[in-house]
Amino acid sequence: MAERPDTPKTAASRYGLLFVISLYCIMPFVWLLTAAFDPGAGLFLEVPAKVDLSNFFRVFQEEDGLLWLMNSLIVCGGATLLVLVLSGFGGYALSRTHAWWKRPFLYAIILVRVIPPTALIVPLYKVMLTCNLAIAGVVRSVVPPDYVRSVMRFVGFIDGYLGLILLLATMHLPLALWIMKTFFDSVSREYEEAAIMDGATFGQRLRRVLLPLAMPGLAASGLFAFIAAWGDFLFPLTFISSPELKMLPLGIYSAFLRDSQIDYGLLAAIAVIYTAPAIIAFALARRFLVQTFGGGLKG
Amino acid sequence: MSVSFTRREAWRNRFLILPSVLLLAAFVVYPAGFAVYTSLTNEALSGPAAMNPRFVGFANYAKLLTDQNFWRSLAITFWFVLFSAIIGQLVLGLLSAMLLNRRFALRPLVNAIILMPNAVPEVVAALMWASMLAAGEYGTLNNIVAWFGVDPQRWLTSFPLTMIIIVNIWRGIGFAMILMTSGLSSISDELYEAARMDGANTSQIFRRITLPLLVPTIFLYLLVSTVSTIAIFGLVFALTRGGPAGSTELVGIYIYNQSFNSYQLGYGSAVAVVVLVFSLLVGMLYVRALKVDV
Amino acid sequence: MSSITLTNIRKRFGALEVIKGVDISIADGEFAVFVGPSGCGKSTLLRMIAGLESISDGEFRLDGELMNDVSPDKRGLAMVFQSYALYPHMTVAENIGFSLDLKGVDKAEIKRRVGAVADKLQLGKLLDRKPQALSGGQRQRVAIGRAIIKEPKVILFDEPLSNLDAALRVQMRAELQELHRTTKSTIIYVTHDQVEAMTLADRIVVLSEGQVKQADHPIALYKQPDNLFVGQFIGSPKMNVFQARVEAVDDTSARIVTADGWTVALDSVKGLSAGETVQLGIRPEDLSLAEPSNADITVQAILSERLGMETYVSFQTKGEPAIARIAGDHRIGTGEQVPLKINRNACHLFDSTGRAIRRS
């Protein structure tokens, strides 16, 4: 709206309403931040008697905080990396092709985005189980029995990194493909043609011309994939059960469900550790949010 | 390029998209088809059917029609979507967008504050609200309402559905605000100036200029938020696990509980198929609304 | 030596034929301009020469060597694109030196050659800038630098001035002429702007609907168009055309009567017979203001546009409205009767199919 000075009454209601909305949005954070730095924190919001980092130390000393963090980073990092590669190549192909399958494929990836993951969870479990058995068969035939378990931890589909990485990457691939397709649509073909005239092979065009040009698009699709994978709760909940593969969201969830006295300071500290990367990624992704809306659904 | 080059390029494109197609086929398309198949069997993780699932035709669907719990979860989902996404997030998002449509010193800060809930992982959001809504006189919300002379409440026990709606509104204001801001910024200032020249007052400008021009943005937002709100699982599951007594059992949680707590895979799949079909219908509307040009 | 011959070149996209048998030869050092309305196939033809589009049929020879299936980078051509396609992530120097870098030329040599090209194009101070930090004209020069560093046999230009504003376009036209004069390289240049074509070309190839309508020196095209299309395409405002009939002929002249009843006697006309239908083409500049007493025709003005140094007068005819381009400033009101004189020597005659009837 055109900037017209507020009358005192309008100004009061404007800032008053904004204050109330902001309060609503920020209140829940107050407890989390207070509790994380309060060694004696409880479920209720209170002024801490003492403020220190002991909760954070305990996450890494008494609990397997480091393990959970590493597992989350491996799985989400792996999924993000996979999404970047697949969506980079796939988006390029989708943008440049005029083949008959282009339109049906684009429609399909929008429809895939609207399917609630919970609706797929049962058949997915069976697919993952089948894959896991197949992989286990292969692993057993090539690896000495003592090592099967530790190898399966990496390549297994149930209770293994590989399966979860593939699954999370697939779930967030449609949005990334869409972003990259739209992005490459805006990259003039003339850049590539100029490179062809300059004598660049496909490999050189990819590395020297397309990749640098695609960086903003890849940043957007990578950030969205990371945010979505990082925040996902359903898939780790369903497909991870062994403690050595536990990820941050499950660490929080199980610490919260503990029957004995819940250690809220510890819980809040884990939550802060888990939330920080998400907030940073979100802040970085913010400027892509609106452009992406056309094809993507909120994650 | 030469003819062979063009053909080579076509093959290269197919090759580049192939890995994505394979993954989507394996983890989305096939499971979706398999859900339909499973829903026609009496497959279960325990009991006699676990050993030897049988084809039961539409028996699961017939059972659905008479299952009170299923209807209850649909009703809960309906109210949840209606009040949190369609009304709460949209109204507060639009309101925030309009209030922030003016430069002032704290604007970036307020903007960030409103967006923050959107950035928080579901489980953390649930944890924060568990504290907010904690029962007893020291609960944060109880402290707040005490100023207005209201007695302490057991929020998640007495008003479970209302509470998860409030939590979900909290989480989605930012997203709605971003979209509404972009919708508002696409309305030319000259239109407002023209309307003022024609003698329209603030509320007339809102009703006659702003709202009609925002309709496409709002429509798109509603489609998006409907499907994504139906899909909500972690936020509510971590807070209430569908309880107490199924009063917050959204259809996604119902599917999960049926399949992994009651071990009725066939029946759970039938519910999943119903959700799947509904989501796809909304998705098709979405595709049409976007007028996807490729 | 780098001459180009296109023989019966065709391009099909599926069932659609967009280039329908084109024959062109361009001599070494010539500045050839492909011009035509949008959709005439001029860009496609250029891209076929570049190797960015396949040639469906016919032969493209460069210095007598068949090029149809040679890959773009092996043809020894360089191209300046419409958007310039300067790589945004590379500096000016990197952009210009990219093709040498791909070939594996060593760094010092690249630096030396980039420097030489930059000097020639006055880009010396801009070498470390990114393309975003350049003005339109500077970008244009970088694109040209990227082309000439390859020392190509032929430089191809695809509507290179269409993104520039009018003033800059005039300046860049002059720079392109200078470039052609100093490098003496063969240039093929595509544009839809006939003014650009007229000012730059040694030879204009007028294309329409995938066919060559005429290829000749610009002034020859202006003075002796082969057909009505070329007559109307070259020149602005475009040539007026009047439907007419041959009333009488003798050995060397003919009397033509237009649909409006104007009688024009043309000499040096051969091969016409009385009663034949013809089309009379008169360029707006060949109509001038006359005293009422010695006017050839008197017309009714619809609109006059005063430009200061000249005045365009649109007037009603039985067919489409016509325009006279009159020297000097005149105040002519709508509906006013305007006496005009026709420059008979510059009148063009076309038969009913639009083919020119030559006057000797």
Q: pLDDT at position C318, please?
A: 86
pLDDT at B141 (0 to 100) = 81
Chain B positions touching A86 (Cβ under 8 A) are: 19-20, 23
What pLDDT is stored for residue A293 in this prediction?
Answer: 54
Which of the residues A47, A115, A248 would you substitute to probe the B interface, choosing the one with the greatest number of B C-beta atoms within 10 Å? Answer: A115
Most distant CA pair in chain B: distance in Å?
Answer: 82
| Secondary structure in 3-state letters for A117-159 | HHHHHHHHHHHHHHHHHHHHHHHHHHCCHHHHHHHHHHHCCCC
Per-residue pLDDT tens for A209-265? 999 988 988 998 999 899 999 999 889 988 888 888 888 888 888 877 765 677 888
What is the band of B107 on the pLDDT scale with cuts at 50, 70, 90? confident
Does the pLDDT at position A1 exceed 60?
no
Q: What average pLDDT score do residues C217-234 get?
A: 93
- Asked if C66 and C173 sit in the same domain, the reply is yes
Q: Which of C233, C267, C293 is the last residue of a domain?
A: C233
Give residues 21 to 40 of B whose Cβ lies within 8 Å of A.
21, 23-24, 26-32, 34-35, 38
- Give me chain A's average pLDDT, please: 85
User: Is the minimum CB–CB distance between A188 and chain C shorter than 8 Å?
Assistant: yes
Question: pLDDT tens-digit profile of B268-284?
Answer: 888 889 888 988 888 88
Q: Which of A83-87, B41-45, C3-7, C306-310 has the lowest mean pLDDT?
A: B41-45
The verdict on B6 touching C (C-beta cutoff 8 Å) is: yes
The span from the first CA to the last CA of chain C, in angstroms, equals 36
C106: containing domain: 4-233
In whole angstroms, give the CA distance from residue C72 to residue C80: 14
CATH homologous superfamily for the domain A63-248+275-293: MetI-like (1.10.3720.10)
Is 90 exceeded by the pLDDT of residue B93?
yes
Cβ–Cβ of C51/B1 closer than 8 Å? Answer: yes
Mean pLDDT of all residues in A156-166: 89
Mean predicted confidence (pLDDT) in B156-164: 86
Tokens found for residue C230: 């070329």
Say if CB C249 and CB C316 are below 8 A apart.
Answer: no
B275 contacts on A by Cβ (under 8 Å): 116, 118-119
Instruction: Say whether C52 and A212 touch across the interface (CB within 8 A).
Output: no
What is the predicted pLDDT for the residue at A299? 34
Within this chain, do residues C285 and C177 fall inside the same structural domain, yes or no? no
The CA distance from C191 to the nearest CA of chain A, in Å, is 17
Write down the pLDDT at residue A294. 47
Q: pLDDT band at residue B50, thresholds of 50, 70 and 90? A: low
pLDDT in tens, C106-121: 999 999 999 999 998 8
The minimum CA-CA distance between C8 and chain A, rounded to whole Å, is: 25
Given a cut of 70, is residue B238 above it in pLDDT?
A: yes
First to last CA, chain B: 24
Q: Which residues of A touch C81 (CB under 8 A)?
A: 190, 193-194
Query: Is the pLDDT reported for residue C229 higher than 90?
Result: yes
Residue C15 maps to which CATH number? Answer: 3.40.50.300
For residue C338, the model assigns a pLDDT of 93
Q: Does C135 reach chain B within 8 Å, measured CB to CB? A: no
Between CA B4 and CA B15 the distance in angstroms is: 16
Give pLDDT, residue C315: 93
Where among C213, C233, C253 does a domain terminate?
A: C233
The arithmetic mean of pLDDT across residues B1-15, rounded, is 71
SS3 category, C350: strand
Is the pLDDT at A55 greater than 90, yes or no? Answer: no
Q: What is the pLDDT of residue A240?
A: 86
Inform me whether the pLDDT recorded for B1 exceeds 50: no
- Helix, strand, coil shares of chain C, percent, nearest 5, are 30, 35, 35
pLDDT band at C213; cut points 50, 70, 90 = very high
Spatial contact of B85 and B224, defined as CB atoms under 8 Å apart? no
Q: Which domain holds residue B148?
A: 68-263
Nearest to C79 among A197, A212, A215 (CB): A197
C262 and C189 fall within a common domain: no
Question: What is the average pLDDT across B129-146?
Answer: 80
Min Cα distance B292 → chain C (Å) is 25
Average pLDDT (B178-207) is: 85
ipTM over 0.90: no
For C259, which DSSP code? T
* Inter-chain residue contact B123 with A43, CB threshold 8 Å: no
User: What is the total count of domains within chain C?
Assistant: 2
- What's chain C's average pLDDT? 90
Nearest of C233, C224, C321, C225 to residue C38 by alpha carbon? C233
Q: Does C81 touch chain A (CB under 8 A)?
A: yes
Distance CA C136, CA B27 (A): 50
CB contact C99 to A (< 8 Å)? yes
What pLDDT score does C103 carry? 87
A291: pLDDT strictly greater than 70: no
Instruction: Categorize the per-residue pLDDT at C143 as very low, low, confident or very high, splitting at 50, 70 and 90.
Output: very high
What is the CATH classification number for the domain harbouring C269? 2.40.50.140
Q: Inter-chain contact A290–B182, Cβ cutoff 8 Å?
A: yes
Which residues on C lie below 8 Å from A200 (Cβ)? 73, 102
Is B26 part of any domain? Answer: no
Each residue's pLDDT tens digit, C308-328 = 999 999 998 888 889 999 999
**CA-closest candidate to residue B74, choices B240, B246, B234:** B246
- The set of chains that have 3 or more CB pairs under 8 A with B is A, C
Strand partners, C341: C288
- The mean pLDDT value for B23-43 works out to 87
* Local confidence band at B48 (pLDDT 50, 70, 90 cut-offs): low
Q: Say whether both C180 and C62 belong to one domain.
A: yes
Question: For chain A, what percent of residues have pLDDT higher than 70?
Answer: 94
Assess whether pLDDT exceeds 80 at residue A171. Answer: yes
**Neighbours, chain C (3 or more CB pairs < 8 A):** A, B
- Cα angle, residue B174 at apex, residues B172 and B177 outer, rounded to 5°: 110
Q: Any residues with CB less than 8 A from the CB of A218 and at least 6 apart, and which?
A: A84, A87, A88, A180
Chain B positions touching C52 (Cβ under 8 A) are: 1
Indicate if C68 and C203 belong to the same structural domain.
Answer: yes
Q: Check whether A3 has a pLDDT greater than 70.
A: no
In this predicted structure, what is the pLDDT of residue C214? 94
Residue B85 domain-assigned? yes
Which residues of chain A make contact with C51, given a CB cutoff of 8 A? Answer: 196-197
- Please check whether residue C98 touches A, CB under 8 A: yes
Is the pLDDT at C268 greater than 50? The verdict is yes
Average pLDDT over residues C338-349: 92
Interface of C with B in 59-88 (CB under 8 A): 68-69, 71-72
Closest C-alpha among B31, C116, B129 to residue A271:
B129
In chain A, residues 193-252 whose CB comes closer than 8 Å to chain C: 193-200, 204, 208-209, 212-213, 215
**Residue C272 near residue C357 (C-beta atoms within 8 A):** yes
Choose the closest CB to A99 out of B10, B139, B256: B10
**What's the pLDDT score for residue A295?**
43
Least confident of A57-66, B102-111, C250-259, C293-302: A57-66
Sorted by where each begins, the domain ranges of chain A are 63-248+275-293
Which residue of chain C comes nearest to B2, CA vs CA? C54
Q: Reply yes or no on whether the pLDDT at B89 is more than 70.
A: yes
Whole-number Cα distances in Å, A272 to A56, A71, A276: 9, 17, 6
Radius of gyration of chain A (CA): 24
